[in-house]
Structure 1
Amino acid sequence: MIDTKSKSRLIVDDIFYKAKDKVILDGISMTSKSGQIFAIIGQTGSGKTTFLNMIAGRQTPDRGSITLNGKQFDKRLRRNMAFVQQTDVFFSQLTLRETLEFTAHLRIPEDVPTSKKMEKIDLIVKYLHLEKCIDTVIGDIFTKGLSGGEKKRASIACEVLTNPDILLLDEPTSGLDSRTAQNIIEFLQKYAIQNDKLVILTIHQPSSKIYHMFNRLMVLDDGKMAFNGKRQQAISYFTELGAQFETHYNPADYIMEFVSDADSEMKEAIFSKVGAKTRQCVPKFMELNGKIQQTAFQKDYYEDSDTDSLLEETRVKLLQESDIENGHLPKVISHDKNDNKWPTNWCTQYKMLSIRSIKQTLRILKQGYSLVQCLTVAVLCALLYFRIGVSIKTSRDVYGLIFFYVGYWTFIPAMTVIASYGQERVVVVKERASGAYRLSAYFMSKLTSDLPDTFLLPGIMYILFFWIGDFGGASEFFATLAIMYLQTFCCFGLGLFLSVLCHDVRMAITSLFSYLISMYLLGGFFSRNVPYWMEWIKYCSIFYYPYAFTISVMTARLEDVPCNSTLAETFPGCLDNSTSIVTPEHILADGNVSLRLHTLLIIMIAYTIVIRSAAYIVLRVKNDKLV
């Protein structure tokens, strides 16, 4: 049978929350214990999700307290809680199996054998009827994947897999057909009773059958309680207030209609009545809870006395099933929890996060859109600069091509990160809120996940036009390719920095383009006659250093050329007779390059480190918002 020592009692007392000038929650209280489904219903905007966020610790109330078994419900206790959001957020290119395996390896303690983790996955998939789509990608607006109902069940599966003592669900049936919604609530009922867990959910408009699966019910309207108590007492409660219920019709519909259509005087009466009742009950529960802590082993105080006969019959039946059927839900899902702050160590977190991100990146690349774009631009550049070589006469053309390449692989990486991070961030927020992994492990995995994009497409494009254009030998190729890779890696960091700095994607894009267009113009190529008081700006340009390094390497082997072999206007020294030959130094000066190779390299490495470090610092400073 169920071990009573694992049972939980949650008490929420007098929660008040105000956003700007609007009261969102006004004096909300509740009590619930393990083995129950506590449902919160109400119209849109009644405060259901905000109240759930308060319990989850994602928002802080202005007044009130939340306790679990008589202890303040702090971050440590919330590690044994799971939250299924209304919006299902995943990495879109991973299959359901990979998503569940990732969750198991990352959020189940490492001392649990892998075979047992896989057994948990198989059983949960079975009970949520996800067998047919286990190897289907999650999908997004561009990729066909799981349906809405399958995504919702996948979200629940990921959270149930971690064996939480308290499971919070925000609108778990929203957008689902009636049969799928019923299956989900039936699963939650089994999960709560057989595993002795507390399930708290918000639901907008439950069907009659779903309504009768609830143990306790709270009705919210405009942030206030219209009812709070046993579900089976709701009909008599609202009948006393004047509501009329017809037999064989959904009680939830009548309750919602009665509360929403009530005039201000009636609503005040409703709120006053339920408030007085709650003010009497909550202190008694809190007093009882204190006594429970002292006599937990002397009395099974969790014997469910507030269920009607039908619900009690269901409960007994489900408990018998869990004892009789070998390998049933509670025996497979449950696992011991460790007392560490994190379920897994840093290396495991980094490894799993890196694998997931790299899979996501590679499968996006596999779709081919980025490759087609890259090859199109590369072939055009190769045709335009076919066998042009590097010489005095072609130097300006080479400068232009190199500056174009640097610019292309500055804009593209930064924009790629900004475009994708908005979707990734909601997944990270959800996982970090559950205490799944360290921020440092996530950040380092981002560095690793950039590598396929850093090496593959930029390398393909550079190989094509470098060799077709005949811009040098092997030494020039590898030296300049390395600096181009460094530039691309740096720009992925720039995109990440702006993404975490600006939560609004439009602001991140505006900031990126404002900076890059300005630096592109002043990066040392487009204008050679820059006013003396603006010459220093090129050293702030992210384009200048890879551009200067590359043309320095490509022109290093050029031989000196007499002035009469080239246009005097191109090199001022020839025009004023201060020199009779044109050296590589003159060519570099014409390209606005004045720093030496080692200086350029050091500055680029420093630039990359500073950008990445700044991104991590911003993440750390904004950690309260990320969590």
Structure 2
Amino acid sequence: MNETAAAGTDLEMNVTENAHLVNDTVTSFTWSNLEVIVQDRNTRAPLSILSNATGNVCAGEMLAILGPSGSGKTTLLNALAHRAAAANATTAGNILVNGHTASLQEIRDLSAYVEQEDALIGSLTVRETVVFAARLSLPHTISRIEALRRVDALIAAFGLQAQAHTIVGTPIKKGLSGGQKKRLGVASRLVTSPRIIFLDEPTSGLDAALSLEVCTYIKEITRKNKLITIASIHQPSSATFQQFDKLYLLSGGLTCYFGRVGEATAYFSTIGYPIPAETNSADFFIDLVNTDLDKNGEIRRRTSHICQAWKSSANSRELDTAIQKTVEGTSSSSDIKIPRSTSWRTPIILVHRSWIKSYRDVMAYGIRIAMYLGLAILMGTVFLRLKTEQAYIQPLINAIFFGGAFMSFMAVAYVPAFLEDLNTFRQERANGLVTPLSFMIANFVIGLPFLFIISLLFSIITYWMSNFRPSASAFFTWVLWLFLDLVAAESLVVLVSSIFNIFVVALATTAFANGLWMCVNGFLVPMDILNPFWKYVFHYIDYQAYVFQGMMVNEFGRRSYSCDKIAKGHYQCSYPSDLNSIGKIRGVDVLRQFSIKPGEEGTWFGIMVGIIAGYRLLAYIVLVLRK
């Protein structure tokens, strides 16, 4: 603890040095008559899931929100943080900072929220994680040296100096332990020197030793820097529970107790529920009000008695009186602000972070590059050295379809990587650090160089092995169409995954959409006989159709093919052409069979850009609406 205390002192000095960032300090955080109401799924009547919640926490204190599953712990935590307490919920009541009503933006400026499921990027190191958190949240007025000093102080304060250059950990490469990840998650949120910390079950998934380790570090930081820490917690060990100063016990959204942890045992004894010897007090309190274990109604009656006893207790009356005095002196604004990073810098920071992830984490693009190279070798060896004879015309068309359609189909491999980025975005957005626009810009920009590299490598192998039209201009035109194909396919993945953020659903939906585009792109069924419904509803918005047409014109627009010679001066030609008499077939006559007109490549290119922009715009709208 000496090392931790010394590091905590360094952090305290660092916060003091930057005291000019805050117009005032937070000495108290108070809430009263807090109520969260949702609509009952069966009766559609209003249903209260949190009632008359009242409490206060002072600087340097840690509050534990305790209760059985479904008791309202996370609901209360979200309501205090000015987050959506539940889906379609209405929240009412008073939330005060230093006796003043705090708005959403002020709470965001003053606080940090650490969710139960961390959004750490596995391919970043510990130091990089905290550095990027600092760059996203600190104002540009803070110098780089000062920001890095704050980063190093936090890493030291949470005992992560030895792991500073260790990656967080990916499914392929092991990194930090569970306890170290939890500490890093908290540290990365403290870089802006918030005055209030909200923790959603910070010990979930950890054993007793790691839980104690995490809470000990948090307590040390809270006391050294006079922070206010509010954490929902589920079944802590006795040692972990004793790290907290105050307890808020909930059951069914009702308050069972609020007060000092050390006074809780005595309080419950006075109302007729003494704790047995050698019993973990936290487990005892939870079991006491856990109505999920109720078989004959006894626990519900007991819980109702406990809640009523609290309402009529002297402790509750004292709390109400103290808070009422605070509420009477409220004003509309706390006027406490911490400036944040300017928004124009955010996309640049996100691109930098995504670049590190993309080249370091093989799950992002490495596996996809290997997969596409394997597909290129497969295609090149199957469609090997096709000739300019009519027997090879159909295989050439098949190769063009296969190259474009299956390349875009295999973009489904991007789904897991995007969903990981989306999870990180959600948590950073909830903390007011990232906007949907900056996220979409960074996501689009970072993918372009990798998709171009994939297109180029695939084409170098496939184009020349299959013996497509041998010219530099034709080759790079092929690369361009393939690049647009991949960008459109990845944009489709982004849109679908933004709507359906469950891996299996996003994967299945994207695969279905790509299967649909294959069916109506004009290859499997020629345009002149394609069902009008599929033609007019889907074909003209099918990006694969324009890629197929562009590649077909690139191959057949300036090439001719020889017919089968059956006798001297006599030929058998599969496609009608004005060159049949000399045993030739113009490539444009092949295009005519697919209702493809050369000279419209510029229009197709513009439509492709429009489709890509449309997918991205729709994904952006989805993220904006899905708060």
Tell me the TM-score range normalised by the shorter chain: 0.7 to 0.9
Instruction: After superposing the two structures, state which structure 1 stretch, 229-238 or 508-517, moved more.
Output: 508-517
Structure 2 counterpart of 1:210:
240
**CA apart distance, 1:200:** 0.6
Where 2:285 maps in the other structure, the secondary structure is: helix
Q: Describe the SS at the equivalent of 1:100.
A: helix
Structure 1 residues 351, 532: closer, same or farther in 2, change over 3 A? closer
Q: Is the 8 A contact 1:182 1:210 kept in 2?
A: yes
Q: TM-score, normalised by structure 1?
A: 0.84
Take 1:338 and 1:78, find their aligned partners in 2: how far apart are those partners? Answer: 9
- Secondary structure (helix, strand or coil) at the match of 1:496 reads helix
Once the two structures are superposed, the pairs formed by residues 283-298 of structure 1 within 5 Å of their partners are 283-289=320-326
The residue number in structure 2 matching 1:244 is 274
Residue among 586, 599, 602 paired with 1:598? 602
Moved more, 219-228 or 507-516: 507-516
Q: Which whole-Å CA distance do the structure 2 matches of 1:116 and 1:158 have between them?
A: 16
Partner of 1:135: 165
Counterpart-to-counterpart distance in 1, 2:514 and 2:373: 24
Which residue matches 1:52?
Answer: 77
Give distance in 2, aligned partners of 1:511 and 1:136. Answer: 37
In the alignment, structure 1 residue 550 sits paired with structure 2 residue 551: yes
| Alignment correspondent of 1:12 | 31
- The answer (yes or no) to whether the contact 2:418–2:494 under 8 Å persists in 1 is yes
- 1:156 aligned residue: 186
Deviation at 1:64, TM superposition (A): 2.7
After superposition, the C-alpha distances for 1:328-385 in whole angstroms (9 at most, x for unaligned) are xxxxxxxxx9665xx2223421111011112222223488533432222211222222
**Alignment check: 8 A CA contact 1:207 1:252 kept:** yes
Aligned to 1:530: 529
Q: Which residue of the partner structure matches residue 228 of structure 1?
A: 258
- CA distance in 1: counterparts of 2:548 and 2:30, whole angstroms: 63
Distance apart, 1:291 and its partner CA: 7.5
Q: Does 1:76 align with 2:67?
A: no
Q: Which among 100, 116, 121 is matched to residue 146 of structure 2?
A: 116
Q: In the alignment, residue 502 of structure 1 is paired with which amino acid?
A: F
Deviation at 1:447, TM superposition (A): 0.7
Q: Does 1:272 align with 2:269?
A: no
Aligned-pair distance for 1:406? 0.6
Encode CA deviations 1:287-331: one digit per residue, 9 max, x unaligned. Answer: 43268779xxxxxxxxxxxxxxxxxxxxxxxxxxxxxxxxxxxxx
Deviates most, 170-179 or 109-118: 170-179
Partner of 2:9: none
Shift of 1:244: 2.4
Whether 2:372 is the aligned partner of 1:374: answer yes
Q: CA deviation at 1:563?
A: 9.6
The 1:581–1:402 alpha-carbon spacing in structure 2 relative to 1, beyond 3 Å, is: closer
Distance 1:569 1:70 in 2: 90
**Alignment RMSD:** 3.1
CA-CA distance at 1:279 after TM superposition: 6.3
* Aligned-residue offset at 1:19: 4.4
The correspondence for 1:66, drawn from 95, 101, 123, is 95
1-structure distance, mates of 2:117, 2:590: 58
Distance 1:497 1:503 in 2: 10
In structure 2, distance between residues paired with 1:554 and 1:174: 59
Using the TM superposition, name which of 193-202 and 357-366 deviates more: 357-366
Q: Return the match for 2:54 from 24, 29, 44.
A: 29
The farther-off stretch of 280-289 and 115-124 is 280-289
Change (3 A) 1:377 1:503: closer
Structure 2 matches for 1:305-320, cutoff 5 A?
A: none
Q: Structure 1: give runs of 5+ residues left out of the alignment.
A: 295-336
1:261-306 Cα deviation digits (max 9, x unpaired): 8633332221012124476345533343268779xxxxxxxxxxxx
Residue number among 589, 592, 603 corresponding to 2:592 in the alignment: 589
- Residue identity matched to 2:325: L
Q: Does 1:618 align with 2:622?
A: yes
State the identity as a percent: 23
Q: TM-score, normalised by structure 2?
A: 0.84
Gaps of 5+ in 2: 1-11, 41-46
Report the counterpart of residue 424 of structure 1 in structure 2.
421
C-alpha deviation, 1:93, in angstroms: 1.6
Question: Could you say if the C-alpha distance between residues 518 and 266 of structure 1 is closer, same or farther in structure 2, counting changes exceeding 3 Å?
Answer: closer
Answer whether contact 2:127 2:155 (CA < 8 A) is retained.
Answer: no
Q: SS of the counterpart of 2:118?
A: coil
Which whole-Å deviations, capped at 9, do the CAs of 1:47-100 have from their partners, x for residues lacking one?
211211111222244443322233333221122111111112212222222111
Determine the C-alpha separation between the residues in 1 that align with 2:539 and 2:236: 63
Judge conservation of contact 1:92–1:137 (CA < 8 Å) in 2: yes
How far the C-alpha of 1:140 sits from its partner, in A, is: 3.6
Larger deviation, residues 132-141 vs 251-260: 251-260
Alignment of 1:461 with 2:458, yes or no, is: yes
**Retained in 1: the 8 A contact 2:249–2:258?**
yes
Alignment partner for residue 346 of structure 1, among 343, 346, 354? 343
- Residue 463 of structure 1, CA deviation: 0.9
- Structure 1 CA distance for aligned equivalents of residues 202 and 259 of structure 2: 21
1:500 positional shift: 1.3
Please tell me whether the aligned partners of residues 552 and 588 of structure 1 are also in contact (alpha carbons under 8 angstroms): yes
Over 3 Å counting, the alpha-carbon distance change for 1:252 and 1:620 in structure 2 is closer
Q: Is 1:363 aligned to residue 360 of structure 2?
A: yes
Q: Secondary structure at 1:6's aligned position in 2?
A: coil
CA distance in 1, matches of 2:91, 2:557: 68
Q: Are 1:539 and 2:540 counterparts?
A: yes
Q: Distance in 1 between matches of 2:435 and 2:535?
A: 44
Paired with 2:264 and 2:252, the residues of 1 have a C-alpha distance of 19
One-letter amino acid of the structure 2 residue matched with residue 280 of structure 1: R
Distance 2:112 2:264 in 1: 28
